Amino acid sequence: MSKLSTKHLLGIKYITKDDIELIFQTADNFKQVINRPIKKVPSLRDITIANLFFENSTRTKLSFELAEKRLSADVINFASSSSSVKKGETLVDTVNNILAMKVDMVVMRHPNPGAAYFLSKQVDAQIINAGDGAHEHPTQALLDAYSIREKYGEVKGKKIVIVGDIAHSRVALSNIFCLQKLGAEVKLCGPLTLIPKYITSLGVEVETNLRKALEWCDVAMMLRIQLERQDKKYFPSLREYSMLYGLNKELLDSLGKEITVMHPGPINRGVEITSDVADSNQAIILDQVENGVAVRMAVLYLLAGKKVD
Amino acid sequence: MEQHRVILNPTQFQLVIRRLCFELIENYDDFSNAVILGLQPRGKYLANRIALELHKMKAVVSPIQIGYLDVTFYRDDFRRREEPIVPGKTEIDFIIENKKVILIDDVLFTGRTIRAGLDAMLAYGRPEKVELLTLIDRRYSRDLPIQPDYVGKKIDSIISQRVQVKWKETDNKDEVILYTPKLKN
């Protein structure tokens, strides 16, 4: 097996366990590459990639751009705030215009769920979803699972709790699919207003008590409260949220076992996680970022590796 | 069905390895500034065997540095074959700056892997000198101007033929076999 089962990476839902394992295996090699003095390989030298970000991003955008450059691809960047989208151009028109400049792959972040899927049906280029609304963020889930695999050797059988704003989180959904495909147990924790009503149909359990959830888990994945997506009040105040669902050192130390703390970023220090926890050695937040480049290099390499006609 | 012919039997195999080592000793003296790089996946076994044999002959003063180089990301056939190749592991825990590198692969055919290997190697420094050692040289079939400095055995072959080097470590036997596809009438 050396080929992904898919032409695009639209979501974890659409790829198989074998695909995920192939990506991890390839990422191991790239992790070695990015840790040596000369961090660049020439594999994608004849490929042009457009990064289309219709929504703000720091980590994902830089991580993708770095991955592309480390693979020697040509990169063009696009941010909707400074583009003709503001003049009323449609998504398909924008992308087709960019593709007319002979672009091979598109990495896209968009505020609307399903935007990447829609685009893959409309245009003739390989699409990588870098986050579509509250739907999926496949490369984030891959790097999260990769970081768990790196820490524990394997993901299978591990107990992972995802804490916080599940309803507005694409990271949560992609991670549920990814971790389950790899054989992990997933539990969700947060105020019921922030947990989608039928989420248990995905085979996950819901726990409203943070302490119980943490006592159960091996890994706690803390999510940010996405105030920009919240159109109404889901909880009384950030202070109250933080008291009930924020992870602090006292709580972490009182568990009687060592759990691993993860966060997809950006961190709201003092809300979902306190500074001393985020900077402790139980947190692997910066390892996640490092692994992000290797995992994205693997995804780009494997998708680009299909034969050109 | 394929026909096959043994090119090197276990006895000849061992003789060839020893001869290659003697040739290296003539040029490298005590190997104090030399390193061995085996190309992944199959050149690794030859590199290990050569290093082992050199140690047995007491030709080296201190253990010779040995690394394995994977060339997958430097290949020139990316996007030109049906499936991307799954990369092997690069294991080089030293810098090759100003070293004499003995680059090792089992079979030299078109020369494209070696070309990629030379590129890949440069990520680890600028060597003083690079020499190429291969067990089998399929001569007259080169796509690029690359020639080995040390050759176990030269063979004449056509493109449709296939050479397999077997190793005691993985295939229970040291042996080289040439496979010829049977012609359809």
- How distant is the Cα of A298 from the closest Cα of chain B, in angstroms? 11
Pick from A140-144, A155-159, B83-87: least confident: B83-87
- pLDDT, residue B38, reads 96
Q: Which of A11-15, A51-55, B29-33 has the lowest average pLDDT?
A: B29-33
> Binning pLDDT at 50, 70 and 90, where does residue B58 land?
confident
Predicted confidence (pLDDT) at residue A86 exceeds the cutoff of 80: no
* Chain segment B134-185, per-residue pLDDT in tens: 999 999 999 999 999 999 999 999 889 999 999 999 999 999 999 998 877 6
In this prediction, residue A309 has a pLDDT band, given cuts at 50, 70 and 90, of low
Instruction: Show residues of chain A in contact with B124, CB under 8 Å.
Output: 36-38
What domains can you pick out in chain B, each with its CATH number? 10-157 (3.40.50.2020)
**Which residues of chain A form beta strands (DSSP E)?**
48-53, 74-79, 105-110, 126-132, 159-163, 185-189, 205-207, 219-222, 260-262
Stretch A127-133: mean pLDDT, rounded? 95
Residue B46 CB contacts under 8 Å (≥ 6 apart), including other chains: B38, B104, B105, B106, B133, B134, B135, B165
B74 closest CB neighbour out of A2, A26, A42: A42
Query: Which residues of B fall below an 8 Å CB-CB distance to A?
Result: 70, 72-75, 78-90, 95, 119, 122-125
Q: Are B73 and A26 an interchain contact pair (Cβ–Cβ within 8 Å)?
A: no
Sort out which chain A residues have CB atoms less than 8 A from B123's CB and list them: 36-38, 40-41
The separation between CA A199 and the C-alpha centre of its own chain, rounded to angstroms, equals 19
Residue of chain A nearest B86, judged by CA positions = A2
- Check CB contact under 8 Å for A33 and B73: yes
* pLDDT digit string, tens, across residues B120-130: 998 888 999 99
Taking the C-alpha atoms of residue A56 and residue A45, their distance in angstroms, rounded to an integer, is: 28
| CA distances in angstroms from A2 to A104, A168, A298, A309, listed in the order given | 21, 35, 12, 19
Domain boundaries, chain A: 12-136+289-304, 138-286
| Mean pLDDT computed over every residue of chain B | 91
Structure confidence at residue B23 (pLDDT): 95
Same fold, A12-136+289-304 and A138-286: yes
Q: What is the pLDDT of residue A34?
A: 92
Residues in chain B closer than 8 A to A306 (CB atoms): 79, 84
Residue B40: name the closest of B102, B90, B81, B101 by CA.
B90
For position B185, what pLDDT does the model report? Answer: 61
Residues of A in contact with B70 (CB under 8 A): 29
Distance from CA of B91 to the nearest CA of A (A): 9
pLDDT band at A1 (very low <50, low <70, confident <90, very high): low
Query: What is the architecture of the domain spanning A138-286?
Result: 3-Layer(aba) Sandwich (3.40)
On whether the CB atoms of residues B148 and B108 are closer than 8 A, the answer is: yes
> B80 contacts in A (CB within 8 Å)?
307-308
State whether B124 and A37 contact (CB < 8 Å).
yes
Which pLDDT band holds residue B84 (cuts at 50, 70, 90)? confident
Q: Give me the pLDDT at residue A308, please.
A: 62
Which residues in chain A have their CB less than 8 angstroms from residue B82's CB? 3, 307
Dihedral angle, C-alpha A244, A248, A252, A253, nearest 10 °: -120
CB contact under 8 A, B79 and A41: no
Q: What is the mean pLDDT of chain A?
A: 92
Q: Which listed CATH number (3.40.50.300, 3.40.50.10320, 3.40.50.1370, 3.40.225.10) goes with A12-136+289-304?
A: 3.40.50.1370
Counting Cβ atoms within 10 Å, is residue A21 exposed (0-12), middle (13-18) or buried (19+)?
A: middle
Task: Give which of A261, A260, A264 is closest to A289, Cα–Cα.
Answer: A264
At residue A290 the predicted structure's pLDDT band, cuts being 50, 70 and 90, is very high
> Tens digits of per-residue pLDDT, B87-114?
888 888 888 999 999 999 999 999 999 9
